[in-house]
Structure 1
Amino acid sequence: MDGYADISGEDDESGYRDPYGGLESDGLQWPPSDIPTTPPTAVTDDFPRYTFSPDDAQNAIHAAVAAAQAAVTRAPVIDGRIAPSCTFAAAVITRTSDGGGSVTVGWIGDSRVYLLSPHRFERLSEDDTWAAEAARVGLIPASAVETDRRAHTLTRWLGADAGDVTAHVRVVPLSLPATVLVCTDGLWNYLSRPEDMAAVVGELAPATAAITVGRHLTKHAIDRGGHDNITVVTARIDATPPSD
């Protein structure tokens, strides 16, 4: 993996920024006890490689959701009436010795995960919104989802007033090289379609560092108006097999 970038403007549906400053676990262990903590088998470009399977990645995502939910529910109520809340999205990349790999994605709400490669542009997550769910059951056409007035009306989120906080999780095989992108609607409002997101990333050279890709996407959103909090996390994965 080339690296990752987190260009963050914390996404919080209430507009509230958590004063606790991160995902405090409230007694939760990290890593969880059921995730193996195998020592690294190799170090490439200063990144240790661990024996970490897609099952381990799924466990890690569920543990991260539990920690995030605990942190958000501890945040004080705003003006005595608004419960702080937020969305969640994550991606864990797993490499194999033959140069392949997969990405395990998890989400709650309308933060998204995209997969961008020379031959594949795909959104890997599905929004937890009224409009998206209505389209999935045929109440409105899929083409109307993002113009519907309830396109950003969340049906699931994290917070004290949340219902089910179990993350959606899926595992997707990777065709390398690829870019995995995790972002809030502060970015995807302007680049919702995967091919549009890929076109902006494609303005940069193929070997551009992940941090530069994240900054480029963030600047694009700001230049388009920046009307919501912008969080962008990018990971560039090349096709070179990890060394043993």
Structure 2
Amino acid sequence: MLEPEQIMHALMILNVESPIGLDDSVMTQMSDHLGCDDEDMAAAGEHIEKHRDDGDWGGRRAAVLERSLKRVNEGLSTGRLPEEGTLSQEIRGLMQEHAPEDEDDGEVDPFEELGVVSGAAGASGASGAADAGEDLLAAFMDDDDEEEPLLSDDTQFFGEQEDSDDEEEAEAEPEEPEPEEEPEPESTEMSPVDAYELLLSTCWVDGILDPAEAKLLARKRLELTITFETHLKLLREMLERES
């Protein structure tokens, strides 16, 4: 779950990038609602002023706005931000101003969030389902072909009914043994280093580490007993993978 400082920082970015610019009174209300102090607001303002680059954000404007929208949306969905009232209308107005043109009413695609493939991969999945359906249909038609000679000749069917019944009983297929259930793999807990590495990669997703994220990482290092040397080692490995 996001920290209040991260949500406030995202709101300030959307506010700064709005057509009318930063509205101090609105930001003060948002900050008070989240429980952030003046120091948090000042740190966020300094970070934005340092990296904004006249709205270009070092060529990452779209990524920064998208990330801010996701954080504000999470704040609304988790109850950190108000769902009703004047302040809620101000927040939703900021989100609407920066919503992508191809976005449909701010709805999140559940299949995309769950990692379900689309496009060519989805088409191949649909093709596989169609092939499976054709196989089942073919098996069903084969069964019909096997029964057809019995139904085509009424005399043969009624004359040899008793014999066919005896043969069917003799040729009854043996029951297939039920497959043994495979034991479920035991769940393993994530180690503190892996948990910290996951948090670090999440904070570093757009290449910008804001003050709220730096404070969050420092607190998690203490909670997980991660040394600063381990932090530097994980950060170096992550940068090497991205380069």
TM-score by length of 2: 0.21
Q: Which has the higher contact order (CA 8 A, sep 6+)?
A: 1
Structure with max Cα Rg: 2
Higher strand share: 1
Alignment TM-score, normalising by the size of structure 1: 0.21
